[in-house]
Amino acid sequence: MWALRGLRGLRGAGGRGPWGRRAAHSVAVLGAPFSRGQSRRGVELGPGAVKAAGLLTRLHRLGCRVHDFGDLSFTSVPDDEIYNNRILNPRSVGRANQELAEAVDRAVSAGHSCVTVGGDHSLAIGSISGHARKCPDLCVLWVDAHADINTPLTTSSGNLHGQPVSFLLRELRDKVPLLPGFSWVKPCLSGPDLVYLGLRDVDPPEHFILKNYDIQYFSMRDIDRLGIQKVMERTLDQLVGKRQRPIHFSFDIDAFDPTLAPATGTPVMGGLSYREGMYISEEIHNTGLLSAVDLVEVNPLLAASDEVKATARLAVDVIASCFGQTREGAHAVYERLPGPGSPDESDSQERARI
């Protein structure tokens, strides 16, 4: 059983029940203040910023049953030596992700949709692994400027936030060395279970992997060419067209254009517009199959305070759209339009006549 089983069969109905009311989501919100998958200070403050922008209230107002799981406190690993002259903080990243995997597994097993707020994108190793324990047939939509699929042998930065997907793919098993702290990680995805959206900064080895391992991706150029509607149609067709299964939505805030999301560590020009971002999230909601979300890479130390607020608000908008916020409006709590003959009105007219 996975979190949103009750919404099955509502695809195309805007996620609403037969009476126009939304089925309530039960949502666990998990803060993951982790930054050691990359080298810039501040991304561990992301969960605080996104919560300060009103995440819990927004979900509550949408009619979700919200369970605030607080922030994980990750075990610190002293003397985390560089691995193979290249990989930074392997034991810290391995350990934090092991802890996150357990938390996500618990949340999903308790029947919640799990929202992990990062933190850097190395967290997807734990979040997807934990989700897959309960939902082994899950699929992943990865929205990002980057493919994050370097292996520890192809990375040029040594930062593990650029490598999480390589640890998750079965096809790359024999290309990825065992890092200290990673012995618990078991690849849980195959190429066809994954689609990328928003790519525009892909390293040559990553491009080689995408092409040679038959991984579907829609770069920003593809979005320019096809339009976001067609791109989402093809994406969902591949992931859940043949069989319904839980969706893991892994959203890096740097997928957006830096003019919209400046407070992030590796911004790249030419990203998603606000409307494209909302459309993607709304379509994910409309499947009725969303089971877990990662919202990562908001870094409050890398921009001015109003820019940080705008970036965090954008993150909240993405998550809210995943859980039923619509741009055309909704009337979840509004059941009857008052008319001249409604009881209150006739009482007052009666009184007026007397």
Q: In terms of Cα–Cα distance, which of 281, 354, 267, 270 is closest to 315?
A: 281
Q: Provide the minimum distance between the beta carbon of 159 and Mn ion in the complex, in angstroms, as a whole number.
A: 10
Q: At what angle do helices 305-322 and 274-287 cross, to 10 degrees?
A: 30
SS (H, E, C) 212-265: HCCCEEEEHHHHHHHCHHHHHHHHHHHHHCCCCCCEEEEEEHHHECCCCCCCCC
Phi, psi of 294 (to 5 degrees): -110, 135
Choose, by CB under 5 A, the member of 144, 201, 257, 276 that binds Mn ion: 144
Q: Is 252 in the site for Mn ion (CB under 5 A)?
A: yes
Using CA atoms in the order 69, 266, 183, 78, what is the torsion angle rounded to 10 degrees? -80
Tokens 């993405």 sit on residue = 318
From its phi and psi, is residue 186 left (phi > 0), alpha (psi between -120 and 50) or beta?
Answer: beta
Find residue 118's DSSP bridge partners: 32
Is 137 assigned a ligand-binding role in the annotation?
no
End-to-end CA distance of the chain: 61
**Which region, judged by CB under 5 A, interacts with Mn ion, from 24-32, 147-155, 190-198, 207-215?**
147-155
Interacting residues with Mn ion between 263 and 322 (CB under 5 A): none
User: Are 28 and 112 contacting, i.e. CB atoms less than 8 angstroms apart?
Assistant: yes
Choose, by CB under 5 A, the member of 121, 248, 285, 313 that binds Mn ion: 121
- Of the pair 44, 252, the CB lying nearest Mn ion is at 252
Choose, by CB under 5 A, the member of 71, 148, 201, 294 that binds Mn ion: 148
Is 60 assigned a ligand-binding role in the annotation?
no
Give the active site residues.
Answer: 121, 144, 146, 148, 161, 252, 254, 297
If DSSP codes are grouped into helix, strand and coil, which group holds residue 184? coil
**Which region, judged by CB under 5 A, interacts with Mn ion, from 200-208, 247-255, 287-295, 303-311?**
247-255
- Of the pair 148, 282, the CB lying nearest Mn ion is at 148
**Which region, judged by CB under 5 A, interacts with Mn ion, from 14-22, 104-112, 117-125, 321-329?**
117-125
Is 121 assigned a ligand-binding role in the annotation?
yes
Is 146 assigned a ligand-binding role in the annotation?
yes
Q: In terms of Cα–Cα distance, which of 7, 72, 12 is closest to 247?
A: 7
Q: Provide the minimum distance between the beta carbon of 147 and Mn ion in the complex, in angstroms, as a whole number.
A: 8
Tokens 């995408």 sit on residue = 210
The contact mask relative to Mn ion for 193-222 (x = CB under 5 A, - = no) is ------------------------------
- Of the pair 223, 330, the CB lying nearest Mn ion is at 223
**Which region, judged by CB under 5 A, interacts with Mn ion, from 20-28, 36-44, 82-90, 246-254?**
246-254
- Of the pair 144, 276, the CB lying nearest Mn ion is at 144
Q: Is 248 in the site for Mn ion (CB under 5 A)?
A: no
User: Are 62 and 72 contacting, i.e. CB atoms less than 8 angstroms apart?
Assistant: no
Is 207 assigned a ligand-binding role in the annotation?
no
- Of the pair 231, 296, the CB lying nearest Mn ion is at 296
Is 174 assigned a ligand-binding role in the annotation?
no
- Of the pair 282, 294, the CB lying nearest Mn ion is at 294
Q: How many residues does the chain have?
A: 354
Q: Provide the minimum distance between the beta carbon of 120 and Mn ion in the complex, in angstroms, as a whole number.
A: 8
Collect all residues with Cβ–Cβ distance below 8 Å to 79 and sequence separation of at least 6: none
Provide the annotated binding site for Mn(2+): 121, 144, 146, 148, 252, 254
What residues line the site for Mn ion (CB under 5 A)? 121, 144, 148, 252
